[in-house]
């Protein structure tokens, strides 16, 4: 019996060790450690800790912001821009990310002049991207609750004054709710249909066709942002903000 108990203790001991190895540190602990390395100027180590958090399936605008800052400090502008952009995807209105992204973009070689859009189209895109999809869904739910409150006030109140207030609240909130639903759907379609990438190579020759032997169309540099329109084998078709179109290898960029 004693031998059996010893074997059991040994098995439990190694199981506890394996569980610690499997689960490792929590995202909070890794974030704290990464921030500590960053403050000490050990940016490569900070990057390593932040990536451990991502490998556990976690993401946040703060995490991407810290990663972007770390890559910027070690001079890897392409990766800095990539993670700033990913941070904005989660939190479109984050002023700190917007400011640092502007600084990082100023360090890139390519200065692309965007093709002008019609005012109403530009205004609508700005409105749709003001908040993330989650943000617009939360706003829609809040408006829906206000609508229910207005309807309840109208039908349940016995006083004419409260009924008028309930009617006004429900009428306005219904109109706003419809607009909010349309914007939420547009935001969803925007995220689902629009793919962007960031070039990580210092310099790259864009091809006119998805072939290494194809003719060179134009030159782009690290950190440039482009939309992804098509894919053929190991090649993707990209479009720059100024309208230029060409093909690049999948190995030279990362998708936002």
147-175: pLDDT as tens digits: 999 999 999 988 999 999 999 999 999 99
Would you state the structure tokens that stand for residue 83, as one six-digit string?
Answer: 């993670």
The residues near 122 (Cβ < 8 Å, ≥ 6 apart) are: none
- 239 class by beta-carbon count within 10 Å (0-12 exposed, 13-18 middle, 19+ buried): middle
Of 226, 253, 254, 255, the residue nearest 239 (C-alpha)? 226
pLDDT tens digits, one per residue of 80-128 = 999 999 999 888 889 999 999 999 999 999 988 776 778 888 888 889 8
For the entire predicted model, the pTM comes to 0.73
Distance CA 100, CA 87 (A): 11
């Amino acid at each position: 019996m004693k031998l059996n108990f010893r074997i059991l203790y040994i098995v439990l001991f190694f199981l506890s060790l394996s569980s610690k190895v499997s689960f490792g540190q929590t995202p909070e602990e890794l974030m704290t450690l990464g921030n500590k390395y960053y403050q000490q100027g050990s940016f490569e180590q900070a990057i390593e800790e932040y990536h451990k958090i991502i490998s556990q399936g976690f993401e946040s605008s703060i995490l991407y912001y810290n990663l972007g800052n770390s890559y910027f400090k070690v001079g890897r502008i392409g990766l800095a821009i990539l993670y700033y952009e990913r941070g904005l995807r989660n939190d479109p209105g984050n002023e700190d990310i917007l400011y640092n992204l502007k600084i990082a973009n100023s360090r890139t070689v390519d200065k692309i002049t965007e093709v002008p859009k019609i005012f109403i189209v530009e205004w609508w895109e700005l409105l749709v991207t003001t908040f993330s999809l989650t943000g617009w869904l939360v706003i829609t739910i809040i408006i829906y609750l206000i609508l229910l409150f207005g309807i309840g006030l109208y039908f349940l109140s016995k006083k004419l004054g409260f009924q008028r207030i309930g009617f006004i609240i429900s009428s306005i909130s219904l109109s706003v709710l419809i607009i909010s639903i349309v914007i939420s759907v547009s935001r969803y379609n925007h995220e689902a249909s629009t793919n962007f990438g960031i070039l990580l190579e210092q310099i790259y020759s864009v091809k006119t066709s998805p072939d290494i032997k194809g003719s060179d169309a134009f030159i782009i540099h690290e950190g440039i942002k482009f939309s992804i329109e098509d894919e053929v084998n190991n090649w993707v078709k990209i479009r720059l903000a100024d309208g230029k179109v060409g093909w690049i290898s999948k190995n030279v960029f990362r998708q936002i």
